[in-house]
């Protein structure tokens, strides 16, 4: 499986799942645009790791929940590398609390980043992909978007919205040789999950038939397949990478 000659944008790529995806795509030969919102040092470290391994990458700051920033991110990729073949909408945040305590700001912030951001980045990149008649779009959803999760009404709504968004995009642009798929991680060891109470972590592990928590690299492997030519006839699908948690 090779991504030689391809150019990828990975949003929220300075750490966690996004970092693992950026490193994996680069290892397969893609030139990578490492997007970050505020973690400049971490994003530059990802670029350095890619370059040290012989790859090409550039870090681009952009708040993908803001339309001009999303457009600037895509323009930067086109200016530096001349094309965009792959878009991985990974950027995401949490603002967990029970619905009765959830503020409108908590709701809006999560929906703007996790769902609206994917809309803005996808819209910004589609014309270029349609002209070249090639594209691979992968949206990072979650099993929470399939099953729901107490204390995460905002997050679950955004991740469920990504699934519907993915299927709609797949139908709209499939004839242009552009695929759109979603990956739904289960419990993955990242900074987003590091602060979960021990009892919730234990419950998640107990409900996972594989008997272990996932790693960012598990998600990166799934994304690498979906953006490759090997997955050219797969579109509109939701791949659960969750050790069986969603069964």
Which residues are annotated as catalytic? 155
Task: State the Cα–Cα distance between residues 145 and 247, nearest whole angstrom.
Answer: 14
- The Cβ-side half-sphere exposure at 224, using a 13 Å CA radius, reads 23
The b-or-e profile of 12-44 (16+ CB within 10 A means b, else e) is: bbbbbbbbbbbbbbbbbebbbbbbbbebeebbb
- CA-to-CA distance for 122 and 71, rounded, in angstroms? 10
SS3 228: coil
Residue with token string 């992968």: 138
**Are 63 and 37 within 8 A, CB to CB?**
yes
SS3 at position 93: coil
The position carrying tokens 């690299």 is 217
Using CA of residue 37, residue 39, residue 41, residue 46, what is the dihedral sign? Answer: negative
């Amino acid at each position: 499986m090779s991504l030689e000659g391809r150019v990828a944008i990975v949003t929220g790529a300075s750490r966690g799942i996004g970092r693992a995806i950026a490193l994996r795509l680069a290892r397969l030969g893609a030139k990578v645009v490492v997007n970050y919102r505020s973690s400049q040092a971490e994003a530059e470290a990802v670029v350095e790791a890619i370059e040290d391994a012989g790859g090409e990458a550039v870090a681009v700051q952009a708040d993908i929940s803001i339309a001009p920033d999303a457009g600037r991110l895509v323009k930067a990729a086109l200016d530096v590398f001349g094309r965009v073949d792959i878009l991985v909408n990974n950027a995401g945040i949490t603002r967990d609390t029970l619905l009765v305590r959830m503020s409108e700001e908590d709701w809006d912030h999560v929906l703007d980043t996790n769902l609206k951001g994917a809309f803005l980045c996808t819209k910004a990149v589609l014309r270029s992909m349609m002209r070249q008649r090639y594209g691979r779009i992968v949206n990072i959803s979650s099993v929470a978007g399939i099953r729901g999760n107490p204390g995460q009404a905002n997050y679950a709504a955004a991740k469920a919205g990504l699934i519907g968004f993915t299927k709609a995009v797949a139908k709209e642009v499939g004839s242009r040789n552009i695929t759109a798929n979603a990956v739904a991680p289960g419990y993955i060891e990242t900074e987003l999950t590091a602060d979960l109470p021990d009892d919730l972590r234990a419950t998640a592990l107990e409900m996972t038939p594989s008997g272990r928590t996932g790693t960012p690299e598990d998600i990166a492997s799934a994304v690498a397949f979906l953006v490759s030519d090997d997955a050219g006839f797969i579109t509109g699908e939701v791949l659960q990478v969750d050790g069986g948690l969603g069964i």
